[in-house]
Amino acid sequence: MSTAAPAALATVAGPVEARLREVLDAESSRWAAVDPDLEAPMDSLGRFVLAGGKRLRPAFCHWSFVGAGGAPDDPSVIDTGAAFELLHAFALVHDDVMDGSATRRGEQTVHVEFDATHATASWRGESRRFGEGVAILIGDLAEVFADRLMTGAPRAAFAIWNELKIELNVGQYLDVLGTARGGTDLATARRIARYKSGKYTIERPLHVGAALAGRLDELQAPLSAYGAPLGEAFQLRDDILGTFGDAARTGKPVGDDLREGKPTPLLAIARERATLGEAALLDRVGRPDLRADEIAAIQEQFTTSGARGEIEDTITALTDEAVASLESAPLLPVALDALRELAAYVASRDT
């Protein structure tokens, strides 16, 4: 699998990160002057946003905008890229609270950070609730900062922006529900993958980029022909990494998705093919006390049942479908090349 970010990603990340640093440093200084206690949550958000992330959403937005004739250094697309990263921070911080995750990108999660602050200081109340409450507020701040960066966007772009936020929350609800219920079927698991991650990571950023350039009506369909299948491929790769990934690369312990009971297509296929004995092992998915040897046995079951191979084949087919659609997409050649490069990265990444 690929480990290095392609040029189509790296060239977008620099200007977006510079804008993020500018916005977050200004907010930290502004609010620390109001009350020194406000420096901690602002700095925590800044570290979270700037310390990692692939910057995929800004990249897809950027190349759609450029492909539609926009200037690569236009401040509006840079602001929008920064907004996508702040919205992503909002989603991840809240997701970590909902999942009870201890690590993200190799570091402790925001709620764990503030849980520890509370416990060390021996403050009143429950440390866990304090940490989770502060993390929710920090996530909310990220969303507000993201919206503020979008206030100057054209009406069509802002409409897509609001729709993608609704889709993100709907997908997250289905994910939480599926985790609680267990036993999610394949069709539902794929629907969750589409709404929780696929549309919001690729398809909708492409639409926002076209809308920024004033060409959404013309480009929405061809961009969806590329973005919808590639978005699903992105989430399916995430599912593989969540079960089989290298913790040193992903920044999360191997098997976290299994302990959380994530309703993935990978799990749905394995359940469909399981014998009675295998089903008993899969019934352990979703247990926080799932042991390392059980995780290894579930990984083996995913492989021997053919579930992993089927998901890999689906990723390849969806990526091929996305790339093929570019042959008829009315975008500038430089953007088409970038989108092909990004598709290859999305399909084969190991982080």
Helix axes 292-304, 307-325, angle to 10 degrees: 60
Q: What is the Cα 12 distance to its own chain's centre?
A: 17
**Cα(42)–Cα(45) distance, rounded to whole angstroms?**
5
**Cα(137)–Cα(47) distance, rounded to whole angstroms?**
16
Q: Residue type at 190?
A: R
Contact (CB, 8 A) for 89 and 45: yes
Along the 351 residues of the chain, how does pLDDT read in single tens digits?
A: 445 789 999 999 999 999 999 999 999 999 999 999 999 999 999 999 998 889 999 999 999 999 999 999 999 999 999 999 999 999 999 999 999 999 998 899 999 999 999 999 999 999 999 999 999 999 999 999 999 999 999 999 999 999 999 999 999 999 999 999 887 789 999 999 899 888 999 999 999 999 999 999 999 999 999 999 999 999 999 999 989 988 888 877 878 889 989 999 999 999 999 998 889 999 999 998 899 999 999 999 999 999 999 999 999 999 999 999 999 999 999 999 999 999 999 999 988
- Name the residue ranges covered by the structural domains of the chain: 7-348
Q: Provide the token pair at 192.
A: 């969750």
Written as one string, the DSSP assignment of 197-247 is IIIIIIIHHHHHHHHHTT-HHHHHHHHHHHHHHHHHHHHHHHHHHHHH--H
The C-alpha angle 91, 94, 97, rounded to 5 degrees, equals 145
The C-alpha angle 81, 85, 86, rounded to 5 degrees, equals 115
**Residue from 163, 190, 177 nearest 98 by CA:** 177
Contact (CB, 8 A) for 158 and 150: yes
244: Cβ contacts below 8 Å, ≥ 6 apart? 254, 299, 302, 308
pLDDT score at 3? 57
CA dihedral 66, 68, 74, 76 (to 10 degrees): -120
**Cα(76)–Cα(57) distance, rounded to whole angstroms?**
15
Nearest 5°: phi and psi at 101?
A: -75, 140
Class of residue 214 by CB neighbours under 10 A (exposed 0-12, middle 13-18, buried 19+) = middle
pLDDT score at 78? 98
Superfamily of domain 7-348, CATH level 4 = Farnesyl Diphosphate Synthase (1.10.600.10)
**Cα(102)–Cα(88) distance, rounded to whole angstroms?**
18
pLDDT score at 182? 84
Q: What is the Cα 91 distance to its own chain's centre?
A: 8
Class of residue 248 by CB neighbours under 10 A (exposed 0-12, middle 13-18, buried 19+) = exposed
Q: What is the Cα 58 distance to its own chain's centre?
A: 12
DSSP state letter for 254: T
